[in-house]
Amino acid sequence: MNTSGYSLDGLRVLVCDDSRQIRSLINSFLNGFGVKSVEEAGDADESFERMVEFDPDLVITDWNMPPTDGLDFVKKVRNSSESPNPYVPIIMLTGYTELYRVKQARDAGISAFLAKPVSARALYKRLTSVVDDQRPFVRNDLYFGPCRRMNVRSNYMGGERRKA
C-alpha cells in the first residue's frame, strides 16, 4: 500500500474509538502502511491519559465516545496546560458527516476529517495529507489549531481578509 515513498515505520499513532472493531481495523491499516507503534484508547478520557503517556506523532479519534466526546478530547489536546503536544496532528474519523459537524470539528482544531466507513486507501490519503500539511497554527481568544484556511490566496481582497 505504501507507494508514495513515505517511510511511516517511525510514526507513533494513537487511535481513539469506543469500538474495538474500528480500533482493530485502523490498527491493521496502519500496520499495513508500515506504522509499527500504535496505541489504542476506548474513550476520550482514556485517550487523553494515553496521549500524555505515549506522546504520539498523530492522533486518529472518533467523535462519539461516551462519556466525553472526541470533540472535547480535541479541545483538551489543543488547549490544556497538561497536553504534551497541542500541535499534534489530529484526524477526526467519524460517521457524523453533516456539514455543521465538519465545521464544529474544524473549529475545535482538528487537522483533517475522515468519514466512516473508512477504507485503507482513504485513511492513507488523509494520513499523508496530514504529514504534508504546512499550515501554520493559529491562536486567538476563540481558537487554537491549524489555520482553517486550506487554500491561501494572496490576491483575496474580501472583507474577511486577515491583516498582515
Tell me the fold of 12-146.
Answer: Rossmann fold (3.40.50)
- Helix (H/G/I), strand (E/B), else coil: 139: strand
Cβ neighbours of residue 30 closer than 8 Å, sequence gap 6 or more: 8, 13, 15, 38, 123
Task: Report the predicted TM-score, pTM, of the whole model to 2 decimal places.
Answer: 0.86
**Could you give the C-alpha distances from 3 to 6, 114, 116, 120, in angstroms and in order?**
8, 21, 23, 13
pLDDT value, residue 92: 96
pLDDT value, residue 113: 93
H helices of 69-164, where?
A: 70-79, 99-108, 120-132
pLDDT value, residue 35: 95
According to DSSP, the β-strands at 144-146 and 137-139 are antiparallel
pLDDT along the chain (164 residues), means of 10: 70 96 97 96 94 95 90 94 94 93 91 94 93 83 77 56 54
Location of C-alpha cell 499513532: 13
pLDDT value, residue 163: 55
| Sequence spans of domains, the chain | 12-146
